[in-house]
Amino acid sequence: AMQVHICIAMGLTSATETPITPPAQLKERFAARFRTQDDFSSLVRNLGNRPAQQPHLQHIQAARTHFHNNAATGNSLGKDVARVEDLTLRILFSMMDQYGFETWCPDLSDSPSSLYNNAHRAFAVDSFQQACMMGGYLWFGVIPEQYQDTFLLAKIYDSYVFGTLKDKARKEARDPGALERRQEANGIRKRRQSLAANRELFLRTNGYLERVIKAVAGSYCASEDE
């Protein structure tokens, strides 16, 4: 659920998509606003005094439309994103406005402990906890003892953002289209495995000899569309 939350904040709806690099102007505006960790901590302490603005409420509506229309049914991430409740989207994007983020875009080329990335981590953890407390992500079976553990969520965040997503971004940068090709290959492999299992079941049900079954066993003996 935390990983899906991060992908929604980034605008990702498919495993073949990678995070964008934050524009220089975005980081410059952040640096001008938050010069020290204390500046950011002060904002967090006073979040309740920053109501969501109408322009960002329009952003919430646009995001809702985007995710429900573009979350591809052919991949697991897209299916998970499409299942997220409207209330969760409202909490996420309202809090993004309260935090003052124009867009939520961690810098994977920078240190995870930089002020810029610390702020993005804090937002991700806080907004995820708030969404869970309000009943979000119920479909994922979130456990209170886990989503209330800020340290655990921070570890999950760092592992996913600066591990999984960063590695995917590097691979895609070195070989454009690699992620899409890998996803296609995984789909072919799964279809072959399914066909091989069905073939074996058919042969056993109809009393074929074991040596015949073994001769055609395995996914490599099955095409993806036979």
Q: Write out pLDDT tens, residues 168-213.
A: 888 877 767 655 656 555 655 666 677 777 777 777 888 877 877 7
Which run of H or E residues covers position 23?
none
Distance separating alpha carbons of residues 136 and 47, to the nearest angstrom = 20
Average pLDDT over residues 121-146: 90
Average pLDDT over residues 106-120: 94
Q: What is the pLDDT of residue 193?
A: 72
Name 146's Cβ contacts closer than 8 Å, sequence gap at least 6.
Answer: 152
Judged by average pLDDT, the poorest of 52-56, 106-110, 122-126, 212-216 is 52-56
Amino acid in the structure at residue 75: N
**35 phi/psi in degrees, rounded to 5:** -85, -25
Q: What is the largest CA-CA distance in the chain?
A: 75
Distance separating alpha carbons of residues 158 and 162, to the nearest angstrom = 5
Give the model confidence (pLDDT) of 4-13 as tens digits: 999 888 888 7
Of residues 196, 185, 188, the one with CA closest to residue 222 = 196
Contact 96, 104 (CB under 8 A): yes
- Quick one: DSSP state of residue 35? S
Q: What is the pLDDT of residue 145?
A: 86
pLDDT at 98 over 60: yes
Amino acid in the structure at residue 21: T
> Helices in the chain by DSSP H: which ranges?
2-10, 24-33, 37-45, 54-70, 76-83, 86-99, 115-133, 144-147, 150-159, 166-174, 178-205, 210-215
Average pLDDT over residues 72-96: 76
Mean pLDDT, the chain, rounded, equals 80
Q: What is the pLDDT of residue 67?
A: 67
Distance separating alpha carbons of residues 180 and 165, to the nearest angstrom = 15
Give the model confidence (pLDDT) of 32-82 as tens digits: 988 888 888 888 887 766 555 555 566 666 766 766 666 655 567 777 777
Q: What is the pLDDT of residue 113?
A: 94
Contact 77, 12 (CB under 8 A): yes
Q: What is the pLDDT of residue 156?
A: 95
Contact 13, 100 (CB under 8 A): no
Q: What is the pLDDT of residue 138?
A: 85
**149 phi/psi in degrees, rounded to 5:** -90, 95
Q: What is the pLDDT of residue 11?
A: 83
Q: What is the pLDDT of residue 48?
A: 64
Contact 142, 3 (CB under 8 A): no
